[in-house]
Amino acid sequence: MLDTAIEYLRSVGPQRGEALKRELGIYTWGDLLMHFPFRYLDRTRFHSIRDIQREGEAYQLKGILRRLETVGAGRAKRLVGTLRDETGTLELVWFQGIAWLERSLVVGKPYVVYGRVSLFNGRFSIAHPEMEELTSDNAQLARTFDPIYPSTDKLSQKGLDARGLRKLMRLLLDQLTPAELPETLPDSLLSAYRLMPRWEALQKIHFPENQQELDAARRRLKFEELFFLQLRLLQIRRRRKTSSQGFIFEKVGDCFHRFYREKLPFELTQAQKRVVREIRADLRAGFQMNRLVQGDVGSGKTVIALLAMLIAVDNGFQTCLMAPTEILAQQHYTGLTELVGDLGVRIGFLSGTVKGKARKATLGALASGDMHIVVGTHALIEDTVQFHRLGLAVIDEQHRFGVEQRAALWKKGAGLPPHVLVMTATPIPRTLAMTLYGDLDTSIIDELPPGRKPINTLHFTEQHRLRVQGFMREQIAQGRQVYVVYPMIEETEKTDMLNLMAGYEALRRDFPPPQYQISIVHGKMKPADKDFEMRRFARGETHIMVATTVIEVGVNVPNATVMVIENAERFGLSQLHQLRGRVGRGAEQSYCLLMTSQKLSADARERIQTLVRTNNGFEIADADLRLRGPGNIEGTQQSGMIRLLIADLAKDGQILSAARDIAKRILEADPELMAPEHYRLREHLAAIGKEARLWSRIS
């Protein structure tokens, strides 16, 4: 029954059915059932105006509309009404849809009013309340909370606003029986964790009679969603380790040992040694390695990647390192070439700008096996690039590549898929890592190399501008360099934000030539011009680099010790952390100066305070997830694996951890879920497996 096309539900029909498919992706009765409310109206009681005590609470009221008038003009124009009951009066305010409301609302009539109360100038009011003329129907208290469903303007025009969807849901639930919604979890799990039965949870999530029922239904459905996601990921991971064959790199040979003894420029940290041991164990285990290495900017991921590549070379295999931008790829190529020196390891470079004879020579050396390591951009995945014996693929800042791009590289292995090592300097919150990368083995470098000092982060407002400029002059006088980053290139009418071009001109006045030299870099420049400016700064020929966020990834200038971020309140927390990571790459003390306006929203203030308080990327990532939610975190949608219907990774970390632990215990005891008590799990996994197109084997 749940597979029935949505147009066959009573009162839907072909036109409404098409609209539901197009607007909300609701194709079947089952899709509608899983279209959960995003909030609820507590219609189970009426309050009197005198009951209103707290700002932010939602209230249902009955009263007479006593006044309705338009106040102000232009953007300040608003419609103001007064609701009166036997205990007092309350102001109602609307900022949009004023003309329609003036025609619809009638002064002197009784209304049922519902909305969230705010406090303004010491008086309570409701902005944009829901208004219904009082009738014999709505004068009675509802038995359940009223669910409010996500809808669109086009659906509302067809009578499928929140109220219309509510009617459809009642019709659907009236037709369904427990047989159509079978239990998916074992009875032992339900009783051990006091989870509501599935049939009851799906009834109560739509029409709960009280808050306790709603909480229990949510908990059950969130657990189920996260539990099956983890069960599936852990099963894939287990099967990869038992059935996904990989090249066996048996030895650690001459290249590795000579590099470690003679070329390694510093002693590895304990964290780096631990990660190398984990990679080494994977490479000789006989299954395809799929390992994610997380580590803050400057934690030494590149050296670990090189050590892994040298193991591959010692075993007669080629390796590639793919980076998201030409600048970063070129930086890796230069860095690796300098590190290996005269070891006899041949390293090549390939990007879209490598043409003619140079390109032909590189492609020929890769195909013949004369080249051991190639570093490049997504040019590496082109059909013309053929490897003699690709055994290891290293992907840097992997969230910037689409899954299909990574798949193309994965297919270039010699008979078997290459081992995959993905690296990121973007710290991933634990809950997101367990979900996005739950099928990968994860290594974390949680320690900076010796000699690196934590970056000192300070917050300033415009009134401290002269003090900040004085500090910049002091640092330049000591031979250091400075970044100044802006969030945009040109001024727009919508914002009074300092922009890059105006900031550049102001800096030229405050830091005049020839005493000071300034570079400028932004996304609208030609690649050659951008590259020229970046190289000048890297060589120390300019003192200040004025830039947009194009420098977030791929610039390594150890001599730069000051990062000034203008309008820091406009940046996300993880992006601020990434920008801060451009400094602190040498032995000198580095500074990140956050410039903001005097007035900050609560979220912006928390972002700034978090960055000032800590340099820990994982703490910052957790705060970012909490503030912004998972939908905005880069990369969460690209794998097609995450489409959570009810769970929230920013808020449900405890449920996720519990679900993963339980899934792990079940699979350890019964890997194929063949025990009689696990038949529900097996059947439900098979059902959801048909819908999912998983890319886990290519990370």
- Selected residue with higher pLDDT from 257 and 649: 257
Q: Is pLDDT at 61 greater than 50 in this prediction? A: yes
Q: Is pLDDT at 694 greater than 60 in this prediction? A: no
Q: Six-digit token pair at 6?
A: 């949505």
Q: Six-digit token pair at 92?
A: 């109602």
User: Which of 697, 661, 673, 647 is CA-nearest to residue 222?
Assistant: 647
User: Which of 388, 384, 353, 354 is CA-nearest to residue 368?
Assistant: 388
What 3-state DSSP class applies to 142?
Answer: coil
Lowest mean pLDDT, pick from 468-472, 507-511, 560-564, 576-580: 576-580
- Asked whether the CA dihedral 484, 489, 495, 496 is positive or negative, the reply is positive
Strand order in the sheet with 544-547: 456-461, 591-596, 560-565, 481-485, 544-547, 518-521
Phi, psi torsion values for 449, nearest 5 degrees? -60, 150
Q: Is pLDDT at 666 greater than 90 in this prediction? A: yes
From first CA to last CA, the distance across the chain in angstroms is 36
How does pLDDT run across 398-410, given as a tens digit for each residue? 555 555 666 677 7
Owner of token pair 């898929």? 417
- Asked whether the CA dihedral 313, 251, 273, 439 is positive or negative, the reply is positive
How does pLDDT run across 380-403, given as a tens digit for each residue? 988 899 999 999 999 887 555 555
Q: What percent of the chain has pLDDT over 90?
A: 46
Q: Is pLDDT at 494 greater than 50 in this prediction? A: no
Report pLDDT for 234. 87
Amino acid at 109: K
Amino acid at 157: Q
- Strand intervals (E) in 410-532: 419-424, 441-445, 456-461, 481-485, 518-521
For the chain, what is the mean pLDDT?
85
So where are the chain's domains? Answer: 6-40+151-180, 45-141, 254-283+300-424, 456-614
For residue 234, give the DSSP letter: H
Go through the chain and tell me how many residues it has.
699
CATH domain 45-141 topology: OB fold (Dihydrolipoamide Acetyltransferase, E2P) (2.40.50)
Class of domain 254-283+300-424: alpha beta
Q: Are 390 and 414 in contact (CB under 8 A)?
A: yes
- Selected residue with higher pLDDT from 586 and 67: 67
Amino acid at 348: G
How does pLDDT run across 533-553, given as a tens digit for each residue? 888 998 899 999 998 876 655
Secondary-structure percent of the chain, ordered helix, strand, coil, rounded to 5: 45, 20, 40
- Selected residue with higher pLDDT from 328 and 626: 328
Give CA–CA dist 637/678, Å, rounded: 31
Report pLDDT for 316. 94
Report pLDDT for 640. 38
Report pLDDT for 74. 81
User: Which of 389, 388, 379, 399 is CA-nearest to residue 419?
Assistant: 389
Q: Six-digit token pair at 149?
A: 């469903």
Q: What is the mean pLDDT of residues 227-251?
A: 85
Q: What is the DSSP string of 165-232?
A: HHHHHHHHHHH--GGGS---S-HHHHHHTTPPPHHHHHHHTTS-SSHHHHHHHHHHHHHHHHHHHHHH
In this prediction, residue 511 has a pLDDT band, given cuts at 50, 70 and 90, of very high
Which residues, 6+ apart, have CB-to-CB distance to 478 below 8 Å? none
CATH domain 456-614 topology: Rossmann fold (3.40.50)
- Please name every residue paired with 146 in a beta bridge, in sequence order, or none if there are none: 41
- Selected residue with higher pLDDT from 239 and 186: 186
Q: Are 150 and 169 in contact (CB under 8 A)?
A: no
Report pLDDT for 404. 65
Give CA–CA dist 290/251, Å, rounded: 19
Report pLDDT for 190. 95
Lowest mean pLDDT, pick from 26-35, 121-130, 488-497, 594-603: 488-497
Give CA–CA dist 429/547, Å, rounded: 28
Report pLDDT for 698. 46
- Asked whether the CA dihedral 485, 491, 494, 498 is positive or negative, the reply is positive
Q: What is the mean pLDDT of residues 45-61?
A: 87
Phi, psi torsion values for 68, nearest 5 degrees? -155, 115
Give CA–CA dist 590/584, Å, rounded: 5
Give CA–CA dist 242/236, Å, rounded: 10
In this prediction, residue 627 has a pLDDT band, given cuts at 50, 70 and 90, of confident
Give CA–CA dist 323/376, Å, rounded: 6
Report pLDDT for 586. 77
Which residues, 6+ apart, have CB-to-CB distance to 476 below 8 Å? 482, 511, 516, 543, 544
In this prediction, residue 162 has a pLDDT band, given cuts at 50, 70 and 90, of confident
- Do the domains at 45-141 and 456-614 have one common CATH topology? no
In this prediction, residue 661 has a pLDDT band, given cuts at 50, 70 and 90, of very high
How does pLDDT run across 197-211, given as a tens digit for each residue? 999 999 999 999 888
Q: Is pLDDT at 36 greater than 80 in this prediction? A: yes
Q: Are 55 and 117 in contact (CB under 8 A)?
A: yes
User: Which of 415, 344, 349, 341 is CA-nearest to residue 377?
Assistant: 349
In this prediction, residue 699 has a pLDDT band, given cuts at 50, 70 and 90, of very low
How does pLDDT run across 331-357, given as a tens digit for each residue? 889 889 999 988 899 999 999 888 999
